[in-house]
Amino acid sequence: MTMDIETVKERAGSREFNPTDDMPEEYRKAATRMLEFHANSEIMGAYLERPFIRKAPSIERKLAFSAKVQDEIGHGQMLYRAAESLGIKTREEMLDDLANGDGKFLNCFHYPMESYVETPMIAFFVDGAAMRRQATLKKSSWEPYAHAMDKICFEEGMHVKHGESILRELMNGSKREQEMVQEAFEEWWPRILQFFGPSDDASTHHDFAADVGLKTATNDELRNSFLNRYMEKAKNYGLEIPDEPRIRDNGDGTYEVVEDDLDWDEFFTVSKNEYEGSIQQINGRREAQEAVQWVRNMMDGQTTAGNSPKPQAAD
């Protein structure tokens, strides 16, 4: 029999539920929403960094970006499969929704990234923020989600080191390089702080997700945890923290952002895929998907016919 939601709340704990459990629809929809959002974000983050496979200044950096992009695409596929196990949407439906502009994804991946000096903003700060969030998801109540995070967190840790290496190199470079990184940091800093989503009192999904064990930390808790770790890291590399948004120093080594200083109107416009940059990013994703539609058509035809691909004879 299908579990009722009160039973789910009572049992909710780390990796408590899996596809053999007959979960209530409310849980399955909430978990699908979380997983689809996460998977979409991995895919869109990969597309944001993909140009730097060619634009990076050395063969070592090109190879690192190539490996990272492959990792992120792989993360997306793992998360789509974990979402599929809930029985609400198929992987193909989720990918189509993303290409059509109906799928939601993280705010930071709606903005264009054009200069190499911007890459540490994603590869170090955003990926560092992601690690704060994803580490807590290892205790998600949906076991396939938590299991996927074991592999994803391991690889994201390497991505953060890659981004930190770029930041270190640039901040030990010329005066102009340092100035350009500072300019990029000032532009990206508010977006990075909004990475964790709206403040707790404006979050519409947290309470239920926490009650059923899908989430184990609030948006504000994660944001403060990130600040406590990365404020000092930024300063150590010579970056100056912008005056806005204001950051409160609690005097005990912890920090808080004055959330009213953040542009939440822009955030919610971005979250609805209505920002100009959102449309550009989504269009790029759709064009990439359409470019390889012939491959899917061919594979679907082979599956329908009940035939597996046959190797071609050598000439």
Q: Which of 52, 57, 60, 8 is nearest to 30 (CA)?
A: 8
Q: Kindly report the CATH number assigned to the domain that includes residue 215.
A: 1.20.1260.10
Residue 69 to residue 127: CA distance in whole angstroms: 13
The answer to whether position 295 is within a domain reads: yes
The answer to whether position 142 is within a domain reads: yes
The answer to whether position 314 is within a domain reads: no
Q: Residue 305: what pLDDT?
A: 54
Q: Residue 311: what pLDDT?
A: 42
Q: What is the mean pLDDT of the chain?
A: 92
Beta-bridge partners for 300: none
- In the predicted model, is pLDDT for residue 310 greater than 70? no
Q: Residue 290: what pLDDT?
A: 78
Strands 255-257 vs 247-249: parallel, antiparallel or unpaired: antiparallel
The answer to whether position 313 is within a domain reads: no
State the sign of the Cα–Cα–Cα–Cα dihedral 233, 224, 68, 44: negative
- In the predicted model, is pLDDT for residue 205 greater than 50? yes
The answer to whether position 307 is within a domain reads: no
The answer to whether position 309 is within a domain reads: no
CB 267 within 8 A of CB 197: no
Domains contained in the chain, number: 1
- In order of 76, 127, 151, the CA distances from 72 in angstroms are 6, 11, 11
Residues 6+ apart with CB under 8 A from 231: 241, 247, 255
The answer to whether position 310 is within a domain reads: no
Residue 189 to residue 201: CA distance in whole angstroms: 22
* Phi-psi category of residue 258: left, alpha or beta, with phi > 0 → left and psi -120 to 50 → alpha: beta
CB 239 within 8 A of CB 182: yes
The answer to whether position 315 is within a domain reads: no
SS3 sequence of 63-76: HHHHHHHHHHHHHH
**Domain extent at residue 194:** 5-302
Q: Which of 33, 26, 16, 44 is nearest to 285 (CA)?
A: 44
Residues 47-70: tens digit of each pLDDT: 999 999 999 999 999 999 999 999
Residues 240-281: tens digit of each pLDDT: 999 999 999 999 989 999 999 999 999 999 989 888 777 778
Q: What are phi and psi of 2, to 5 degrees?
A: -65, 130
- In the predicted model, is pLDDT for residue 6 greater than 50? yes
